[in-house]
Amino acid sequence: MRQLISATIVACAFAWVIPVSSQVKVTNEQMMFYTSDWKGERFPDGRPRIPDDLLKRALAVSIEDVWEYLDSLGYNCQFDGGFQALHPDKPFAGRALTAQYMPLRLT
């Protein structure tokens, strides 16, 4: 019985540790390297800080305009659907580190 309990505890510990250790963690130096073109203000962890006035201006831009612009720069196939809008009648824009847009690679 003790062996079963011990094995269960070890299994639970591994089940908790594996997802935590598999998350991508970017250091401040890595963030500065990957966003070296950014010349504006930054957060303490190195992420670029988009000015508040740009976020307000983004509220007036439709998603179709954004996709058209990204497609014109070679960033096609960047759509991820299936999201549910909590307030579909209210536009929103904000700061988030949720996606990375990459251009199409032709091999």
* pLDDT tier at 27, thresholds 50, 70, 90: confident
Half-sphere exposure of 43 (CA within 13 A, CB side): 12
| Dihedral Cα 50, 56, 60, 63, nearest 10 deg | 40
- Residues 39-98 have pLDDT tens digits of 999 988 888 898 999 989 988 888 788 888 888 988 877 666 777 888 888 888 887 755
CA distance 46 to 32: 6
The pLDDT value recorded for residue 19 is 54
